Structure 1
Amino acid sequence: LARLLPAVVVAPAVPYAVAHAEARGLLSVAAEAVLAYPSAAATGLRRVAETALPMQDAPEARLVAFRAPDAGVEHLAIVVGTPDPARPTLVRVHSECFTGDLLGSLRCDCGPQLRGAVRRMAEEGCGVLLYLAQEGRGIGLVNKLRAYALQDRGLDTLDANCALGWGADERNFVIAAVMLRELGIGAVRLLTNNPDKVAALAACGVEVVERVEHAFAPNGVNDAYLATKARRFGHLLD
């Protein structure tokens, strides 16, 4: 959960302290409780801040921040224009990517996807981009950099993540569903190339009325990355 490798919890085994902790059930946690925590935290997300945020590609935009009561991680919603709750809203579920979104890395297509989504929403008059704190498909920035190092040695994206002990995709899309509910959006036109993302949102109760293509051409550096997305993750890039 902390995205730390390796990870361990240590406490001094003082006899009276052990007895005290055992009596209160503090020395063990059921695996089911650990596995359930991400979804439990997601369902507790609430708005904690909101402000107008004129953007270069979307002058009429606002930023809404969400956080669970027992967590310090914020997820953001960029709301472009004024979505009509009675109509399906153009929505992009975008996982944060420090290297691509901020630094303009050519290793992925995240930056173009982020800016392209905002532009399209502005052109259509409204939309919502959910910016989720799930770097590197949920493994965190440091672990993503470790995965990059493995990719430089010949592994692809999926195998690099697995070599570090992670699943192919560790993201939790309950977060997106709760944020959409809090924004009053029930039906969406989902801007994505990932069928698994469509299925995940639908499984969380979001009505996905349309998948809207959102592909960008390879740049000469990310060609293998995009090919892996298509071949091993099932993204629809053709």
Structure 2
Amino acid sequence: MLQPVETAFGDVSGEAMLISATRAATLKLINQIEAAAPRQPVLMRAADPFDLSAALAVADPALDMANPLKGPFKALPLGWEDQARAALELARMAGVLPAYLVDPQGAAEAVPLSATDVAAFADATRLQIASRARLPVAAAEDARIVAFRSPDDTREHVALIIGEQTADRAPLVRLHSECLTGDILGSLKCDCGPQLDAALHAMASEGEKGGWGVLLYMRQEGRGIGLVNKLRAYRLQDQGFDTVDANTRLGLPDEARDFPTAARMLDLLEIKAIRLMTNNPAKVDALSAQGVHIAERVPHALPDNPHNTRYLATKRDRSGHLL
């Protein structure tokens, strides 16, 4: 049996726990890391079975300061690595902590998953256009919106098209990942809200000059880790960790965005080449790897504020953004 720690409730326990290699590393569980191949999920056992309270103390880094002493732990052989990786990836996709209570006996049989199963669930080729409509917005009253949906995914992505679409002119494109805190609530911790607003106005300006623009609004909060986990990362940042280290302590990747889906959206819109608004060369590389022809990278840097100075510095110094 294998159940996510975060969604477990009541009087539950497990003989062992499955956690990611990055979370194990931040916990300094040296015996687990030495017993496992690099980046392999870690299956571990304590002196006593994990009850829910003990499991949460291991899984959630926000509880590290309240529970500084953990262990000793013993690494167990992991004869079902493929299923373990798939389970941890599903936890990320669900936006919950990547940690499971495990009954090692028969765990592989109880988790009939594989990497191919997860890939099938995330298959971007199944995405289709669901609806189109005219949508006047503050930046452009002639904007149109296109909604996309996959039969295997409840997330609904949209594209906002500004200006007249022409095949002979590459549109100005912004791939913008959903940010509730920045886009809607006006958070000053990031630059997402101002970037979104500036992108829409830049596209409107393109439209006035005979060009056009496309905003791809992707439902992948927190670079793909989900809203709750993003807020957990914020709490860790309040403790002094930067954005990269906060995600690592959570056992989650710093970059988990779905670039194949963005490429599929462009393909469905019959867009062959784009001028991409981004400061991130890795985003250029990721979209290019999906077959998107990027005719130009258009810088999209905005002034910082006292609350996001460190966030932008981390983007520049650790993630390679050109700021």
Aligned to 1:176: 262
Q: Is the 8 A contact 1:95 1:133 kept in 2?
A: yes
Q: Does 1:86 align with 2:168?
A: yes
Alignment of 1:69-148 (within 5 A): 69-125=151-207, 126-148=212-234
Aligned residues: 225
Tell me the distance in 2 between the aligned counterparts of 1:229 and 1:27: 37
Instruction: Tell me the CA shift for residue 183 of structure 1.
Output: 0.5
Tell me the distance in 2 between the aligned counterparts of 1:62 and 1:8: 44
Structure 2 residue identity aligned to 1:195: P
Alignment of 1:198-209 (within 5 A): 198-209=284-295
Output one character per residue of 1:178-230: Cα deviation in whole Å (capped at 9) or x when no partner.
00000010100000000000001100000001000100011111000000000
Q: Is the 8 A contact 2:98 2:251 kept in 1?
A: no
Aligned to 1:156: 242
Output one character per residue of 1:107-145: Cα deviation in whole Å (capped at 9) or x when no partner.
000001001000000001020000001110100111000
Change (3 A) 1:196 1:27: closer
Aligned to 2:67: none
Tell me the distance in 1 between the aligned counterparts of 2:94 and 2:196: 26
Instruction: Could you tell me which runs of 5 or more consecutive residues in structure 1 were left unpaired when the two chains were aligned.
Output: 11-17
Aligned to 1:3: 95
Aligned to 1:223: 309
Task: Please report the TM-score for the alignment, with normalisation by the length of structure 2.
Answer: 0.66
Task: Please report the TM-score for the alignment, with normalisation by the length of structure 1.
Answer: 0.89
Instruction: Tell me the CA shift for residue 31 of structure 1.
Output: 3.3
Which SS does the other structure have where 1:167 is aligned? Answer: coil
Instruction: Tell me the CA shift for residue 62 of structure 1.
Output: 1.1
Structure 1 residue identity aligned to 2:177: S
Structure 1 residue identity aligned to 2:136: P
Q: Is the 8 A contact 1:38 1:172 kept in 2?
A: no
Output one character per residue of 1:43-91: Cα deviation in whole Å (capped at 9) or x when no partner.
2111111111101111110111101012211011011122212221110
Q: Does 1:57 align with 2:114?
A: no
Percent identity over the alignment is 55
Aligned to 1:14: none
Which SS does the other structure have where 1:72 is aligned? Answer: strand
Tell me the distance in 1 between the aligned counterparts of 2:100 and 2:196: 36
Structure 2 residue identity aligned to 1:3: G
Q: Is the 8 A contact 1:193 1:215 kept in 2?
A: yes
Structure 2 residue identity aligned to 1:30: S
Q: Is the 8 A contact 2:182 2:190 kept in 1?
A: yes
How much is the aligned-residue C-alpha RMSD, in angstroms? 2.1
Tell me the distance in 2 between the aligned counterparts of 1:4 and 1:184: 35
Q: Does 1:28 align with 2:28?
A: no
Runs of 4+ in 1 over 3 A off after TM superposition: 6-10
Tell me the distance in 2 between the aligned counterparts of 1:233 and 1:157: 10
Tell me the distance in 2 between the aligned counterparts of 1:79 and 1:91: 9
Aligned to 2:22: none
